């Protein structure tokens, strides 16, 4: 049999545990505690006398019945319910008689739902599903916030690299901007038309290369701008070369 306490705590007598459906926290109960809580919940609204409890919870199962023993089990149950987030006093002590489940506490069972024609769809399973669904919605929300923040940061701070193309020549990695064609660079390397004229690629190097040249078709002159940054992995040293030629006289 299963009881729902305050809509978010489930007590399954067969599994002998109290579960908070919102957090997933679970507290396992001893066999005696399970019988005691089941007994009180079954007769909720009524006072269950200590003598009745002694017989049905303890003696019937061969356990030792005593007031101190009973008080200890009641105390454990109260602490467990409190730990799972119930702020109300679920188990009320009726002095010199026994215990009862507080009238302020909402308790429902499987049978309550089965016998109800008004709310046939609201079963404990659905309550649990709804809580799980709510948790899922929160998780999805958190995930969306995380993705949005990451995406925003990426778009805001990311800079498109200008030297996007890479050409490998022996042990050199040559980086060139998108505006330059690979064939043009390869042709420059092939014709030794670089600065410095000979790049030694026998050792690993990183080279940034940029060249701008205007080929005047009307004989106006020469315009060449060449830049090379050569960084050697071997001695961790860079050398930049800048060549500029503008002549029209």
Residues that bind other proteins (CB under 8 A): 22-23, 85, 138, 142, 145-146, 149-150, 153, 157, 159-163, 175, 195-196, 206, 208, 210, 212, 225, 227, 229, 231, 236-249
Task: Give the nearest distance from C-beta 15 to other proteins in angstroms.
Answer: 22
Residue 243 structure tokens: 């060549």
Identify which of residues 29 and 86 has a Cβ nearer to other proteins in the complex. Answer: 86
CB-nearer residue toward other proteins: 202 or 247: 247
Q: How far is the CB of 197 from other proteins (least distance, A)?
A: 12
Please say which residue, 25 or 59, places its beta carbon nearer to other proteins: 25
Shortest distance in whole angstroms from residue 135 CB to other proteins? 9
> In the complex, what is the shortest distance from the CB of residue 244 to other proteins, in angstroms, rounded to a whole number?
5
Contact 11, 37 (CB under 8 A): yes
Give yes or no for a contact between 230 and 199, defined as CB atoms under 8 angstroms apart.
yes
C-alpha 17/C-alpha 37 separation (Å) is 11
First to last CA, the chain: 103
Residue 135: strand, helix, or coil: helix
Nearer to other proteins, 145 or 214 (CB): 145
Select from 189, 191, 208, 209 the least CA-distant residue to 199: 189
């Amino acid at each position: 049999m299963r009881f729902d306490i305050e809509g978010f705590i489930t007590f399954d007598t067969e599994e002998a545990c109290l579960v908070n459906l919102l957090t997933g926290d679970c507290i396992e109960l001893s066999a005696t505690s399970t019988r005691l809580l089941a007994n009180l919940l079954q007769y909720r609204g009524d006072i269950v006398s200590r003598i009745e409890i002694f017989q049905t919870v303890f003696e019937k199962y061969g356990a030792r019945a005593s007031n101190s023993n009973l008080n200890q089990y009641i105390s454990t149950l109260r602490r467990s319910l409190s730990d799972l987030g119930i702020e109300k006093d679920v188990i009320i002590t009726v002095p010199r008689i026994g215990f009862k489940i507080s009238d302020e506490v909402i308790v429902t069972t499987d049978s309550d739902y089965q016998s109800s024609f008004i709310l046939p769809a609201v079963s404990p399973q659905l309550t649990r599903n709804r809580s799980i669904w709510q948790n899922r919605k929160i998780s999805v929300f958190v995930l969306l916030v995380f993705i949005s923040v990451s995406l925003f940061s990426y778009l805001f701070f990311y800079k498109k690299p200008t030297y996007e193309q890479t050409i490998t020549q022996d042990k050199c990695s040559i980086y060139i901007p998108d505006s330059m064609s690979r064939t043009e660079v390869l042709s420059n390397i092939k014709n030794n038309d670089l600065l410095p004229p000979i790049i030694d690629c026998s050792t690993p190097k990183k080279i940034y290369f940029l060249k701008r040249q205007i080929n005047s078709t009307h004989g106006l002159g020469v315009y060449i701008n060449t830049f090379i940054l050569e960084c050697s992995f071997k001695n961790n040293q860079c050398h930049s070369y800048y060549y500029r030629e503008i002549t029209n006289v």
